[in-house]
Chain A
Amino acid sequence: MNIRKSIFAIGAAVCLLAVAGGISPVFAGNGYVDPEPFIDLGGEDDLNLEISISGALLKMISAGLAGADEDLADTVAGLHSIHAVILTMDTEAKRLRGQELVRSTEKQLRRGAWDRIARVNDDEGNLSVWILGTEETVDGVTVLIRGKEDGELVFVNIDGIIDLSKLEELGKTLDIPGLDHLQD
C-alpha cells in the first residue's frame, strides 16, 4: 500500500467514525426511552396513535402557547421529546406479545435507575408510572398502560425536566379515552 492510499484509508476511517458519532440522537436526554419496540409491535394494523415530537418543534409549540396557555408552554419548554404510542392488541397472541414487551420495558427502566412511583393493577388492566430524576427535578416520565379486556397498550415517554404537578393538571383538563377503562 503506498503512502497516498494509506493517507486516504486513515482519512476515510476518521470520517466514518466521526459520522457514526454524529448520528447519535440530537434531542435525546437522559429520560428518553425508545418507542420503536411499541411501534414495531403495532405495525400498520394495530397502531392507533403515534406521537413523536422533539427539538425545534417543541420550542415552536412552547413559543406559540406563550400568553395563551402558560402552564403548557412552560411544561413543553423544558422537554427534549414527547413520544406516545397506543396500540390495540386484538388477539390473544398479540396481547401476550404486548404483555411481554411491557415487562421487558419495565426491566429496562429498572436497570436504567428509573423509579416506579405508582402501579395500579385491577381486573381491567394495569398501569405503571416511572420517573427518572432526583428529589429536586424529574428528568423523565414513562407511562405504561395495558388494558386486559380491550387489549389496549399505551406507552408514553416524556424526556426532559418536567413538573409533575403541572403534568397532573394537564391530565385533569383532558378527556382522554385511553384511561377510561381504568377510571373508578
Chain B
Amino acid sequence: MNMNCDNAQATIQDRIDGQLVDGGELAAMERHLELCDACRRFQVDMMEIHEGLAALPEMEFPEDALKEVWNSTIRKRSGSSSRRWQWMAAAAAVMTVALAGSWFGYFDREPEYSPAEIARATVEARAALGLAGQALQRSQDVAMEDVMGGQVTPALEKITIGLP
C-alpha cells in the first residue's frame, strides 16, 4: 500500500492525537516517511507543537466569557426574529393586563391624600363654590331690582330653580 503526502500527514496527526490507526496504514506511513523529507519535517513539527501544548498549565475558562460567547453567537443567531416577536407579544400582554385592570377597577382605587391636602382642597372648594354663590346672589339681586322696577325678566323665572 502506497501513501501520498496528504494521507501520510493525516495519519501523523491522528497518531499524535492518540487516535487508533490501522496497522497497515501505519506501516504505509512509515514507508512514506523513509522516502519523503517534507513529511518527516511535518511529523517533527507536529510533535514539537503537541509537546509544547501539553507543557502549558491548565487554565479555567472564565464563565462570563463563556456566556458572552454564547450570547454573541448562538443566542443572537437563533433569537433575532422570534425574540422580537416575543418582546412584542410580551408588550401586548402587559397592555392587555393593564387594560383589564383598568376595566375591572384595579387602577380606579382612590388615591391617597394627606390631611393637609384635603384641608387645602376644602378651602379651595369652599372658595370656588362661594364665588359662584356670590355671583348667583348678585344676579338675583339685580333680578329683584328689575322686579321692583316693574321689569320682570325671564331670568328671574329660571333663577328660582333649586330655590326652596
Contacts and interface: CB of A to CB of B under 8 A. Distances in A.
Interface residues of A, number: 63
B137 A171 contact: yes
Contact of B131 (A75, A84, A133): A84
- Of the four ranges (under 10, 10 to 19, 20 to 34, 35 or more), the interface on chain B belongs to 35 or more
* B85, B108, B118 — most chain A CB neighbours (10 Å): B118
By secondary structure, the B interface counts as helix
A172 B88 CA distance: 60
* B124, B132, B137 — most chain A CB neighbours (10 Å): B132
Contacts of B118: 57, 60-61, 64
18 contacts: A12-B92, A51-B124, A56-B113, A64-B119, A118-B140, A118-B142, A120-B142, A133-B161, A135-B161, A154-B131, A156-B128, A156-B131, A164-B163, A167-B136, A171-B136, A174-B134, A179-B134, A179-B135
A170 to B, nearest CB: 4
Interface of B: 85, 88-89, 92, 95-96, 99, 102-103, 108, 110-111, 113, 117-119, 121-122, 124-143, 155, 158-159, 161-164
A83 interface: yes
Contact of B133 (A19, A83, A168): A168
Given A12-B92, A129-B139, A182-B138, A117 B155 contact: yes
Nearest to A156: B132
B145 to A, nearest CB: 9
A116 B163 contact: no
